[in-house]
Amino acid sequence: MSKWTPQDIPDLTGKVVVITGANSGIGFDTALEVARKGATTIMACRNPQKAQSALAQIKAQAPSAPVATMQLDLASQRSVHQFAQAFLAEYDRLDILINNAGIMMVPYGTTEDGFERQLGTNHLGHFALTGLLIERILATPGARVVNVSSNAHNWGEMDFDNLMYTNGQSYTPSAAYGRSKLANLLFTYELQRRFESTSADAIATAAHPGISNTNLASHMQDRFIFRLLIPLMGLFMQPAAMGALPTLRAAVDPQAKGGDYFGPGGMREMRGNPVLVTSNNASHNLTDAQKLWAVSEELTGVKMPTT
């Protein structure tokens, strides 16, 4: 097959797409491309001002696109519930849910619900969001849930005895980030298994952007080692628009199947057009996937019927 590009995105008129973290980085470019193809695009963003600015940029490039912003803070279960309630009151279908937003390698801290920040935002926020919207997803023929992971899942480890690095115990920003990205994949594959076991007309897919030039690591830019590495990273980084392509392919490629994982096709999956890639053995650990699901339901209070 020739290289997959935005020209391969089918017409999305009549489809409803929710993208978390759509005001910047790959989330913005994902929103822009699906809006250009006619999708009713919901930009679910934490900061309303930044969301409005991003919306204006999309409208400038796609004036007739049906795009709206809605406030969503994934680090707040209260906010997740408020978003879901508002969405369900407004929209009668959900064709594609793109769980894109995330934070990366931040210092230890907790969300307002007491969760370690990276797992709380990157996984538990999206788990709860998906669960609160699942009935609308299941009622929409051919719907998809897309979870955005990272190559960082390769160094992630699930430790259910200290899942939240209680009081910062054993916490390092990179280990916690890797765990949250591994959780994204464990969740994807378990959700797909549940879709299959109930013959649901929906699939779960995943993607990673390689090394893309976004503001995800902006909080680290004043660190000496980061400044040293910036010139080197520039050799491997691709624009956010390219980093968005694996997500877009996972979301709209008619040939994509449940459980498919897309990433850049270049060297070490760092850059390039999107292709099917494989994730590590830990991401396919059935015991960990089922345990994470049960713990996630317990922590968020969101039970996820998949029938």
Q: Which residues are catalytic?
A: 177
Question: How far apart, in Å, are the Cα atoms of 105 and each of 71, 84, 122, 222?
Answer: 24, 27, 11, 14
> How many CA atoms, within 13 angstroms, populate the side-chain half-sphere of residue 219?
7
How many CB atoms lie under 10 A from the CB of residue 110? 16
**DSSP code of 270?**
S
Let me know: does 133 contact 94? Beta carbons within 8 Å: yes
Let me know: does 112 contact 75? Beta carbons within 8 Å: yes
Helix (H) or strand (E) holding 293: helix 286-300
What does the DSSP assignment read for 200-265? Answer: -SEEEEEE---SEE-STTGGGTTSHHHHHHHHHHTTT-EEHHHHTHHHHHHHH-TT--TT-EEEE-
Let me know: does 274 contact 207? Beta carbons within 8 Å: yes
Termini Cα distance of the chain? 35
